[in-house]
Amino acid sequence: MTRWIFNPRSFLAMAFLVGAAFGAWSMRYYFDRTLGKWDPTEKFAAKLTEDLNLSVDQRRRVAVLLTDQKRTMEDMRDRWRSDVRVLARQGEDQIAGLLTPDQMDLFMRLHDQIHGRMDQYLWSSETGPSAVVVPPSGN
């Protein structure tokens, strides 16, 4: 055990691993403490206050307006994402309606592969593969 610790290569490798782990932890800590709490509406209100010399009442009212606008935009974005998912599923169902049973099997496998990759890299967990509903064979 003591030979391994005092071996220069092992020591350098261990120092590198500890440094990498500490660096990853410190970056995560920094981003959680800074960007995680960053509010663009607050920053914009502060900039307007500085540039326009807003009164305390004006700043409060601007902050309320910006907060409401941000909430409305987030709601619109959520509805848009939902509409896009519905539209994509409708298109997949329409394609499925044009296929033979053999083509449908291949389409579903390809669809699941594509969406599996997209889910892994791009999409949220609520959008899963297999949008097309296929009745069991023999019906």
pLDDT at site 129: 44
User: Would you list the domain boundaries of the chain?
Assistant: 1-38
pLDDT per position as a tens digit, 63-88 = 899 989 989 999 999 999 999 888 88
**Over the range 61-95, which residues count as b (16 or more CB within 10 Å of their CB) and which as e?**
ebbeebeeeeeeeeeeeeeeeeeeeeeeeeebeee
Residues in the chain: 139
- Predicted TM-score of the model (pTM): 0.47
pLDDT per position as a tens digit, 88-102 = 888 888 888 899 989
pLDDT per position as a tens digit, 14-32 = 888 999 999 988 888 887 7
pLDDT per position as a tens digit, 23-61 = 988 888 887 777 666 677 788 888 999 999 999 999 999
